[in-house]
Structure 1
Amino acid sequence: MEQRRCYDDVVAKQQPHQIVPYSGGGQKQLFMLSEVRPEPSELVSEAELRAADVVRPEDVLRLNAITQDYLCKPSANVYDIEFTRFKIRDLDTDQVLFEIEKPPDDASEREDQPAEAARYVRYRFSEDFLHLKRASQIIVGATVEFVVGSKPINKFRMVERHFFKDRLLKSFDFEFGFCIPNSKNTCEHIYEFPHLSPDLVKEMVECPYETRSDSFYFVDDQLIMHNKADYSYDG
């Protein structure tokens, strides 16, 4: 019961967010994100999901630990969704904390890069990142830009879960909705983390890359992408 109650507490509340201007060729789509709040249920193991024919949002929300491997293959992304830009900013100061953009297409580089490498990101922040506070909370805006292929996308949804060691820090659940074929999309998620105790902050700084996240992406409630990241705060 304690685990289920804890899970209910950490499902994210979607905050109002800023739509980022877009410029470029092709179709353009800007949309609002809606919050999804599933009911808590029994826990599930990573091994069970790995053996399942289909992995759904409610399945990954029942995990109580970071995954050790990916729950789907890169080939599951039959919609050709590709993330091209990512930026994190402090909402209080508008200071850009991290920004990365995909370089222009180079077919030879894509062939040389292992498929798994594109699904994993390592972030290094300073300890100051853990002290960004608004009303005793850490609040950052994460701008994401992505393109989609020739197929329309229904019920595009992201579930992202952040852990420190075996402790769930926060679970975020956003629904993008419908995406136009061959479109470029830009939006900003508002990530609101609970207050972290001084002891926990100290431990997170002293244990680089033991803060980790799983990002699961679904279309029509079926897992089609799984990305992973880890974080250090000793930069």
Structure 2
Amino acid sequence: MASPQTRKPKPDEVLKHTKPTDSFLCPLSANTAGIQFLQFKIRNTEDGSTIFETSAEESAKELLNLDSIDENALRTIKYQFDKSFLRTKSIGTTDSLVFQVGDKPVQNFRMIERHYFKEKLLKSFDFNFKFCIPNSVNSWECIYEMPTLSEKEAKEIEDHPYETKSDSFYFVNDGDLIMHNKASYAYVDKK
């Protein structure tokens, strides 16, 4: 985990990463904008079906069941998606990525996501929410064009659960890193 004294990277630096980070690049206390994610839903843009959905309320219930709170666990998600996800052309978060900001205006809230399989970059996403008024609740539409995988590549990913990983970096203003989350993915038969 990064210490508060560690220099935080700028967007152009994280865009050069060729593999997942070994640790978090900023502490939880770096979130000076007071941003909180309230709801998150992933849908298949082709048929509109929901692939994944969670809310801050559900996450809070899960935390109540823990004896102690691990700061790294708060920022790490393990996803299990159906194998068909690897063959989806695009996914979206239309009106379902909902977040709240603190008591200061937020300029250029930028999210950069880097997705890897076995330290090989699969896809990089870069989204910018230009402005948020103080104490506002906002929804963010993100459309993800999925990487085109051969059947051999998709099968290899399926055969290696949680070796597909991502880093999500959140910046404000002129590229100040305020949040860094990690995820790992398994693709299984869910039908």
TM-score range relative to shorter protein? 0.7 to 0.9
1:186-233: CA deviation from partner (whole Å, max 9, x where unpaired): 122100023101110000000001111000000121111001111100
Per-residue deviation at 1:114? 2.5
Per-residue deviation at 1:126? 1.3
Match of 2:154 in 1: 201
Q: Which has the larger radius of gyration?
A: 1
Per-residue deviation at 1:177? 1.1
Match of 1:115 in 2: 71
CA distance in 2, matches of 1:199, 1:167: 15
CA distance in 1, matches of 2:8, 2:24: 14
**Residues 1:51 and 1:115: Cα distance change in structure 2 (over 3 Å):** closer
CA distance in 1, matches of 2:147, 2:68: 41
Counterpart pick for 1:178 among 101, 125, 131: 131
Counterpart pick for 1:86 among 40, 44, 50: 40
Match of 1:233 in 2: 187
CA distance in 2, matches of 1:51, 1:61: 22
CA distance in 1, matches of 2:82, 2:6: 39
Q: TM-score, normalised by structure 2?
A: 0.87
Ranges in structure 1 where 5+ consecutive residues have no aligned partner? 1-46, 133-137
| Richer in strand (by share) | 2
Per-residue deviation at 1:53? 2.3
Per-residue deviation at 1:131? 2.0
Q: In the alignment, is the contact (CA less than 8 A) between 2:43 and 2:51 conserved in 1?
A: yes
Aligned length: 181
1:128 counterpart SS class:
helix
Q: Identity of counterpart residues, as a percentage?
A: 45
| Letter in structure 1 aligned against 2:185 | Y
CA distance in 2, matches of 1:209, 1:194: 17
Match of 2:92 in 1: 141
1:154 has 2:107 as partner = yes
Q: In the alignment, is the contact (CA less than 8 A) between 1:206 and 1:234 conserved in 2?
A: no
1:167 has 2:120 as partner = yes
1:120-176: CA deviation from partner (whole Å, max 9, x where unpaired): 1111011111122xxxxx201123111111111111111100001111001111111
Q: In the alignment, is the contact (CA less than 8 A) between 2:163 and 2:185 conserved in 1?
A: yes
Q: In the alignment, is the contact (CA less than 8 A) between 1:154 and 1:177 conserved in 2?
A: yes
1:99 has 2:53 as partner = yes
Match of 1:22 in 2: none
1:56-80: CA deviation from partner (whole Å, max 9, x where unpaired): 1001011111111100000000111
Once the two structures are superposed, the pairs formed by residues 53-92 of structure 1 within 5 Å of their partners are 53-92=7-46
1:204 counterpart SS class:
helix
Match of 1:17 in 2: none
| Letter in structure 2 aligned against 1:173 | D
Per-residue deviation at 1:118? 1.9
RMSD: 2.2
**Residues 1:180 and 1:112: Cα distance change in structure 2 (over 3 Å):** farther
CA distance in 2, matches of 1:51, 1:206: 40
The structure 1 segments of at least 4 consecutive aligned residues displaced by more than 4 Å after TM superposition are none
**Residues 1:93 and 1:176: Cα distance change in structure 2 (over 3 Å):** same
